[in-house]
Amino acid sequence: MEHEIFKDLNDAQKHAVRQIDGPLLILAGAGSGKTKTITSRLAYLLEEVGVPPSQTLTLTFTNKAAKEMRERALKMITTTSYPPLLCTFHKFGLLFLKFHIHLLNRDNNFVVIDNDDRKRIIKKINSDIPTPLIGSEISRYKNSLISPTEAYAQAELKNYKQIAKIYEEYEHYLLENNLVDFDDLLALTYKILDENDDLAQETSNKYRYIMIDEYQDTNEIQLKLLQKLCTTHHNICVVGDDDQSIYGWRGAHIRNILEFHQDFQNAQIVKLEKNYRSTQKILNVANALIEHNRSRLGKTLQSTRHEGTDVITIKSDHENEESKKIAAYITELLNSGERASEIAVLYRINALSRSLEEGLNRAGISYRLVGGLRFYDRAEIKDMISYLRVITNHHDNFSIKRIINKPKRGIGKATVEKLELASIRHETSIFSLIDTLSLNELEAIVRKKNAATLKTFVKNIKAVTLIANSSTYDFIDALEAMFTIRDIYANTPDAMEKTANIDEFYGMFRDFVIANPDAGLDEFLNDITLQSEQDEVEGESIYIMSIHASKGLEFKHTFIIGLEEGFLPLLGDGSNIEEERRLGYVSFTRAKDTLTLSHVSSRFYKGRRTDLQKSRFFNEAGLCEGSLKLEQHTAFKKGDLVRHKIFGAGRIIGVSKSGREFKLSINFGGNKREILASFVERL
């Protein structure tokens, strides 16, 4: 008798679940039941094999994926009492560092900073080189385990010598303030394991069965970390799809999945090629496209569903016509009863959303733009977080500078500068400086009026800190009462939205306190720094988003706009045609029932109109001229009311095909006529 775990699995999936010893690569095509396989495998390990949950480790990239897997795995697990460790790479790093960072002579009350914080630190240090470049270079160094000294030594250009210097100062600043950035969560974890062989053995022994999701997105340091975790065994199972590797530009190494068998000897490979999502016609197009890539392991998706309808191509003169047509299609789908949440429009670059949004607005279609600015990246939320940080750690100079003039207290740049200089001279933090100095002494440093303001500010922070330590629940109200944070944005154009976000944050804080009654502010802070909000609300709106943001999602009706040379594929320095092709592949394989591809002859972009060629991906996907479908093919159906310029209003009594066009039989008040679809408009 087979265990219940295997009930709904196909042969390849079963094989992947049972193969538990030694390295295993599960090459999971789009829509092939990847999550089901990985969660079943985890359940199998715990329930059937009897591995204690504490001996397994499952790592993902996003909190969303971790959450989904946890929920699905827990449903299958009945016999074990405590849950297995299933989290993001970074969360794992955080947990590890909490226990072991003392091996680097650091205190475990460190604070995790995000990229925005990093930018501010760099900006403070640096003078002339553009900040974004420095941030990404530092990140690259850290992910390649290159120290500032090494970076300096190997830099040839003057600029890079300078970047290496900034990198050094940046690291110094982090150390000084006991801060840890996202890269450190992995890099320091690796460093500790690398320098402490005993601990590496111990940790590897602890996690005897390791699974990694989205392996094609791993980078250099993640691979090295995994190799450390596999010091004493080789039970590593990675799941991924080389054809869906679309994050090369942010350091993901597709070679990790392509060369898995070399990094981990005697690796087995299981291909999941049965696709439960899309119709065969959609898969044919996707398969044909991706076959043009050379760097791939190779697989062909096979639909378990029906043949389906042809992939549709829309050609337009310009972006306004494009969005008008897309909107017309969508209106038609909605009118025929399709749920809005089953419809999505995807694009390669966010800039294309504007004309699309206009078209949707004009047609009265409500949409939800996925992605955009994330909750925790919004200025007002960052202000909130800074307040909390200052309260947990009064010496957090970095955060105190952000809030010292929010709401406005008349403390400007000059005053902050004076404070900072004085705090360095006194070898103390800005907070302590204001706190310990007498009013008179402070007045010698800053203006008289400001000295009093600063004294009050510090006094209030101390008062709120007392409340935080006695009752986390009452704290948040006390904070708002004391500092009127909601007033910061009161007189800005989007005050409503900002205050709503702050209220949302307060709500989240209360939820956290209820869920974790014994936790302190610091736990809340480190938790949310690693979190990104995911809108999962399914509403009355269709979805529009970038192709990157669509990865992992599926829609019954999927539209892709901007299929032109220069947009998809996006061309330019640093562009990689194979990765562009994978983006095309990812976008095509989001579609369940219908896939509609749109391209234009010219587009307005960066302030100028440019003539465009249609994307080479049409030909590569086998969609040549002859297979083009004329737009509006199902725009009209029997019973619809339409208007003709000459005959006026009438009702459709029949639809037939005439060459490429659709011919309508229309009853104009008793007068029956055959009219081509393009000569009438819907009423």
Q: What residue ranges bind DNA (CB under 7 A)?
A: 61-64, 88-91, 114-115, 131, 182, 246, 249-250, 348-351, 371, 374, 405, 408, 410-415, 530-532, 545-546, 548-549, 570, 572, 574-575, 580, 604, 606-607
Q: Considering 117, 183, 213, 580, which one is annotated as catalytic? A: 213
Q: Which of 19, 35, 162, 309 is catalytic?
A: 35
Contact 496, 478 (CB under 8 A): no
Cα 645 from Cα 675, distance rounded (Å):
11
- CA dist 412 and 208 (Å) reads 55
Is the bond leading into 23 cis (omega within 30 degrees of zero)? Answer: no
Catalytic status, residue 213: yes
Whole-number Cα distances in Å, 325 to 106, 364, 558: 60, 14, 14
The helix/strand/coil state of 385 is helix
Least separation in angstroms between CB 240 and DNA: 16
Identify which of 682, 666, 584 has the alpha carbon closest to the alpha carbon of residue 289. 584
Pairwise CA distance, residues 185 & 90, whole Å: 6
484 is catalytic: no
- Cβ atoms 73, 211 nearer than 8 A: no
Question: Catalytic pick from 244, 279, 415, 558?
Answer: 244
Rounded Cα distance between 32 and 62, Å, is 20
Q: Does residue 606 have an active-site annotation? A: no
Least CB distance to DNA at residue 279 (A): 27
Cα distances from 636 to residues 311, 329, 335, 502, 678, in angstroms, run 19, 11, 11, 47, 10
Cβ 250 to DNA, closest distance in Å? Answer: 5
Q: Report helix angle 472-483 to 448-470, nearest 10.
A: 160
Contact 578, 291 (CB under 8 A): no
User: DSSP assignment, residue 421?
Assistant: H
Catalytic residue among 181, 183, 184, 214: 214
Residue nearer to DNA on the CB measure, 252 or 283: 252
Based on CB atoms, which residue is closest to DNA, 304 or 405? 405
Compute the residue count for the chain: 683
Distance CA 181, CA 238 (A): 26
Output the smallest distance, CB 59 to DNA, in A: 11
Catalytic, 610? Answer no
Q: Would you tell me how many other CB atoms lie within 10 Å of the CB of residue 402? A: 19
Q: How far is the CB of 92 from DNA (least distance, A)?
A: 9
Helix %, strand %, coil % of the chain (to 5):
50, 15, 30
Instruction: Give the integer Cα–Cα distance in Å for 287 and 378.
Output: 40
Closest by alpha carbon to 397, among 382, 383, 386?
386
Q: Which is nearer to DNA, 261 or 378 (CB)?
A: 378
Residue 182 in tokens: 């996202």
In angstroms, what is the minimal distance from the CB of 678 to DNA? 31
Minimum distance between the CB of residue 241 and DNA, rounded to whole angstroms? 17
Comparison of 41 and 91: residue with beta carbon closer to DNA: 91
Look-up of token digits 């029906």: 306
Question: CB burial class (10 A; 0-12, 13-18, 19+) of residue 176?
Answer: exposed
Least Cβ distance, residue 460 to DNA (angstroms): 18
Q: Which 3 state secondary structure label does DSSP give 318?
A: coil
Helix axes 197-206, 220-229, angle to 10 degrees: 80
**Active-site annotation holds for 590:** yes
- Name which of 67 and 233 has its Cβ closer to DNA: 67
Distance between CA atoms of 38 and 528, rounded to whole angstroms? Answer: 26
Q: Closest separation between CB of residue 378 and DNA, Å?
A: 11
Of 333 and 385, which has the nearer Cβ to DNA? 385
Residues 367 and 351 sit within 8 Å (Cβ to Cβ): no
Q: Using the minimum distance from each CB to DNA, give the nearer residue, 408 or 645.
A: 408
Q: Clarify whether 244 is annotated catalytic.
A: yes
Q: Which is nearer to DNA, 22 or 566 (CB)?
A: 566
Closest separation in Å from C-beta 320 to DNA: 13
Nearer to DNA, 348 or 614 (CB): 348
- Do 23 and 211 form a contact (C-beta atoms < 8 A)? no
Cβ proximity to DNA, 475 vs 605, nearer residue: 605
Catalytic residue among 41, 590, 592, 614: 590
Which residues are known catalytic residues?
Answer: 34-35, 213-214, 244, 590
